[in-house]
Amino acid sequence: MGKKVALTGNEAAAHAMRQINPDVIAAFPITPSTPIPQAVAQFIADGEMDTELVTVESEHSAMSACIGAAAAGARVMTATSANGYALMWEMLYIASGMRLPIVMAVAARALSAPLNIHGDHSDIMGGRDTGWIQLISENSQEAYDNLIQAIKIAENKDVMTPALAAFDGFNISHAIEIWEMEDDAAVKEFIGDYEPLFPLLNTDEPITHGAWAPPDWYFEHKMSQLKGLLNAKDVVEKVGKEFGEAFGREYGLYEAYKLDDADFVIVAAGSVCGTTKDVVDSLRDNGIKAGLLKIRLFRPFPFKEIADALQSAKAIAILDRVSPAGAQGGPLFSEIRSALYDTPTRAPIINYTYGLGGRDTQPKHINSVYETLKKIVETGKVEKQFDCLNLRGAWG
Amino acid sequence: MALLNDLAKKKEGLVSGHRLCPGCTHSVIARQVFAAAETDKYDIVIAAATGCFEVSTGLYPYTSWNVPWIHTAFENAASTIAGVETAYRALKKKGKINKDIRFIAFASDGGTYDIGLQALSGAIERGHQFLYICNDNNAYQNTGNQRSSATPFGGTTTTSPNGKVKFGKEQPRKDIVSVLEGHHMEYIAQASPSNWRDLMNKVKKALDVNGPTYINVIEPCTTGWGFPPNKAIEIAQLAVDTCVWPLYEVIKGKVVINYKPQKKLPVVEYLKPQRRFAHLFKKGNEYLIEEFQKQVDAHWEWLLKREECGISYFED
């Protein structure tokens, strides 16, 4: 049986790593994910896990060492944030291109400049096309649960693709919450042993890892890699069910919160979903049909399932915790709107950027979004397709 | 050291069919390395930095490697092999691997002196057991001969050309061996494929060390340096005989010079057969050759003095 603990999101990730006990962890400290390798180092020092920890000199080398170790045949993990994630960027493509099931915890954070150590999704959204599976967590419980499931998803033979489990920097990484930690033995049993497919260290059958492919082969490699990533969708569902059977907390591709009959729907990812659920509850108490679609699997993006789930909506607001950077909207907005194009719904869709660099997002801000959605449905008019929440002064 | 006859029968790690330029010494160096490794006692796993050697031997769907080989990027042969070596220790500890394996990283000067220096420094400082071999061809030859920090003074490249007001590279080469000495490694050496027994001895010694080791090998490049394909080993020998490329070891901090030319040749002997130095022989540029000679002499004298005084920061 598991036990209730009151620990931070970083500690949740670190305990998941302790229980997974991978062969190798290579990591370089960066706020807000630093407490993860610190805790891991302490677990190792106390004999509570026997992972080889490589305290590399940079995140680029962290991912390089992870790739070397995973190619060698080891089960491998790391953790990072923000500029560290950005420094890994080149190697993220190489990890997925080489089909290595590395698993990474990301305490999501703003990217410089200006320098900012607080939470937003600039890092993970910047790396959304690197070919990694991306799971986004709402709280410490999910940070813990997703990291454990990520091992099983990434290592699935039909997938063989690296996976990251992200949770908001500070809002989750440093906030103490009560969550359930499962027994070490139960986690070990859930993930099972790792059998690498083509380990470099099998010197009896020498393999060339990381060859270069000219124009007559590169394309085939990338499309074959894409199949592995797309296969992850079914595997995420399957593993989510198995996780539910094992530990009583079932996971799907996304979470529908009071969505079935909802007129006014917010789509969001991460810790803001907790605040949004509270607002939905109080609106429902007042007879207002509010709902939330919480994104869990962002890559591969389950566009069909999410579009189907949004069919009842009369107006939709999508919250992006990242600047749209000159696009028509944030990355979540673009995905959702594109997904809905092939469906009957023509509900108006608006986009908000919120929480950049750790800016607070309170129930009153979420409430204002639902109010705007109500007004759009009442008037049939969209005044602003893109807006900001809790920005000093008006946007646009 | 085994007889040449025996060495010729040893397992080849790098086999024929690769796409290196005619006369390129990358393959010569690799074959000397494999001939030196005691592959009857341990297996070898190789990591490669992006570069000439990597692209010419690891082209999908073929491979020239008869041993496990991994390439990931340009700047991280050291951190990649560090990961492989760590996995080896982790899996050995858990009883999943029982073999004895040695790890070798091959990179050139760009991936070592420049963009790869940080990863190399980090991996060495952490003490991973691997031999890092830098095949130093003095420029970024893979991308078509651009300047690197290993490019010698006066040498022309496409980004340090000779022109009306510039004469080629204006700075001396980076002394990578001295840079690495600050890492307190047990074994660092400089070698040349022209002196194959010396190179093999160094590889054998390096692979026996329980920690990181480094060998800097001169790798004459026919296309970048501009000499006929059959002259590579001669050019390497001229580098050694002019003391442009001294053969020496730094063993636990003590310098040991392995070859002192009976008659130290003037640097012009090395410079003259190479197109990249042709402009130094134009009238009015004599001072550049004098400067080149001065730099080579100063380094050689410094090495001789260091060997003589035998100072080391390691405790015996």
pLDDT, position A270 = 98
What letter represents residue B296's amino acid?
A: V
Is B121–A211 a contact, with Cβ atoms under 8 angstroms apart? no
pLDDT, position B1 = 64
Tell whether the model's pLDDT for residue A395 goes beyond 90: no
Give the integer Cα–Cα distance in Å for A355 and A126: 16
Is A69–B65 a contact, with Cβ atoms under 8 angstroms apart? no
Is A214–B59 a contact, with Cβ atoms under 8 angstroms apart? yes
Nearest Cα residue in chain B from A71:
B84
- Bridge partners (DSSP) of residue A76 are A24
Give the integer Cα–Cα distance in Å for B141 and A357: 43
> Average pLDDT of A122-132?
98
Condensed to tens digits (0 to 9), the pLDDT of residues A2-24 reads: 999 999 999 999 999 999 999 99
Nearest Cα residue in chain B from A58:
B119
Is A201–B88 a contact, with Cβ atoms under 8 angstroms apart? yes
CB B80, CB A65: distance < 8 Å: yes
- Bridge partners (DSSP) of residue A386 are A351
Give the integer Cα–Cα distance in Å for B161 and B154: 9
Chain B contact set for A54 (CB, 8 A): 82-83, 86, 126
> Average pLDDT of A381-390?
97
Is A65–B97 a contact, with Cβ atoms under 8 angstroms apart? no
Condensed to tens digits (0 to 9), the pLDDT of residues A49-105 reads: 999 999 999 999 999 999 999 999 999 999 999 999 999 999 999 999 999 999 999
CB B38, CB B11: distance < 8 Å: no
- Whole-complex ipTM: 0.97
Is B82–A56 a contact, with Cβ atoms under 8 angstroms apart? yes
Is A66–B83 a contact, with Cβ atoms under 8 angstroms apart? yes
Is A74–B91 a contact, with Cβ atoms under 8 angstroms apart? yes
Nearest Cα residue in chain A from B116:
A61
Rounded to the nearest angstrom, the minimum Cα separation between A77 and chain B is 12
- Residue B72 is nearest to which of A64, A76, A217, comparing CB atoms? A64
Give the integer Cα–Cα distance in Å for B139 and B149: 8
Is A210–B61 a contact, with Cβ atoms under 8 angstroms apart? no
- Residue B59 is nearest to which of A54, A207, A211, comparing CB atoms? A211
Contact of A74 with chain B, judged by CB distance below 8 Å, is answered with yes
Is B122–A201 a contact, with Cβ atoms under 8 angstroms apart? no
Give the integer Cα–Cα distance in Å for B236 and B258: 15
Q: Which residues of A212-241 are buried (b: 16+ CB within 10 A; e: fewer)?
A: ebeeeeeeeeeeebeebbebbbebbbebbe
The DSSP element (H or E) to which A299 belongs, if any, is: strand A297-299
Chain A contact set for B123 (CB, 8 A): 61
- Residue A200 is nearest to which of B59, B70, B119, comparing CB atoms? B70
**Average pLDDT over chain A, rounded to whole?**
97
Rounded to the nearest angstrom, the minimum Cα separation between A18 and chain B is 15
* Peptide bond preceding B61 in cis form (omega within 30 of 0): yes
Percent of chain A topping pLDDT 90: 98
Backbone angles phi, psi at A5, to 5 degrees: -130, 155
Chain B contact set for A74 (CB, 8 A): 86-87, 90-91
Contact of B80 with chain A, judged by CB distance below 8 Å, is answered with yes
Give me the residues of B, 264-303, that contact A with CB < 8 A. none
Chain B contact set for A52 (CB, 8 A): 86-87, 89-90, 93
- The Cα-based distances of B1 to A77, B32, B237 in angstroms read 43, 13, 21
Give me the residues of B, 116-135, that contact A with CB < 8 A. 118-119, 121-123, 125-126
- Residue A24 is nearest to which of B83, B119, B121, comparing CB atoms? B83
Sign of the torsion angle spanned by Cα atoms B225, B228, B230, B235: negative
**Residue of B166, B138, B242, B240 whose CA lies nearest to B198:** B240
Rounded to the nearest angstrom, the minimum Cα separation between B26 and chain A is 18
Rounded to the nearest angstrom, the minimum Cα separation between B104 and chain A is 13
Contact of B43 with chain A, judged by CB distance below 8 Å, is answered with yes
Tokens of A311: 């069919």
Give the integer Cα–Cα distance in Å for A265 and A259: 7
Is B87–A68 a contact, with Cβ atoms under 8 angstroms apart? yes
Contact of B69 with chain A, judged by CB distance below 8 Å, is answered with yes
Rounded to the nearest angstrom, the minimum Cα separation between A34 and chain B is 19
Give the integer Cα–Cα distance in Å for A278 and A292: 10
Contact of A64 with chain B, judged by CB distance below 8 Å, is answered with yes
CB B56, CB B79: distance < 8 Å: no
Interhelix angle A9-20/A35-45, rounded to 10 degrees, is 40
Is B126–A73 a contact, with Cβ atoms under 8 angstroms apart? no
- Residue A52 is nearest to which of B73, B75, B86, comparing CB atoms? B86
Is A210–B118 a contact, with Cβ atoms under 8 angstroms apart? no
Nearest Cα residue in chain A from B123:
A56
- Residue A54 is nearest to which of B58, B60, B126, comparing CB atoms? B126
**Residue of B133, B69, B90, B129 whose CA lies nearest to A71:** B69
Contact of A314 with chain B, judged by CB distance below 8 Å, is answered with no
β A3-7/A177-181 pair status: antiparallel
Determine how many CB atoms are found less than 10 A away from the CB of residue A360: 11
Tell whether the model's pLDDT for residue A346 goes beyond 90: no
Chain B contact set for A203 (CB, 8 A): 43-45, 67-68, 99, 101
- E strands within A89-233? 103-108, 133-136, 163-168, 177-181, 208-209
Is B86–A201 a contact, with Cβ atoms under 8 angstroms apart? no
Nearest Cα residue in chain B from A203:
B68
Give the integer Cα–Cα distance in Å for B200 and B177: 19
Q: What is the full DSSP assignment across A383-394?
A: S-SEEESS-SS-
Is A212–B67 a contact, with Cβ atoms under 8 angstroms apart? no
Backbone angles phi, psi at B106, to 5 degrees: -110, 125
Helices (H), A98-214: 122-126, 140-155, 184-191
| Lookup result for tokens 């730094």 | B250
Chain B contact set for A90 (CB, 8 A): 73
Give the integer Cα–Cα distance in Å for B200 and A67: 30
Contact of A69 with chain B, judged by CB distance below 8 Å, is answered with yes
Condensed to tens digits (0 to 9), the pLDDT of residues A279-314 reads: 999 999 999 999 999 999 999 999 999 999 999 999
- Bridge partners (DSSP) of residue B107 are B134
Is B66–A72 a contact, with Cβ atoms under 8 angstroms apart? no
β A297-299/B139-140 pair status: unpaired
CB B97, CB B103: distance < 8 Å: no
Rounded to the nearest angstrom, the minimum Cα separation between B48 and chain A is 10
Global pTM reads 0.98
Contact of B70 with chain A, judged by CB distance below 8 Å, is answered with yes
The DSSP element (H or E) to which B45 belongs, if any, is: strand B43-48
Q: pLDDT tens digits, chain B, 316 residues: what are they?
A: 678 888 888 889 999 999 999 999 999 999 999 999 999 999 999 999 999 999 999 999 999 999 999 999 999 999 999 999 999 999 999 999 999 999 999 999 999 999 999 999 999 999 999 999 999 999 999 999 999 999 999 999 999 999 999 999 999 999 999 999 999 999 999 999 999 999 999 999 999 999 999 999 999 999 999 999 999 999 999 999 999 999 999 999 999 999 999 999 999 999 999 999 999 999 999 999 999 999 999 999 999 999 999 988 776 5
- Bridge partners (DSSP) of residue A318 are A267, A351
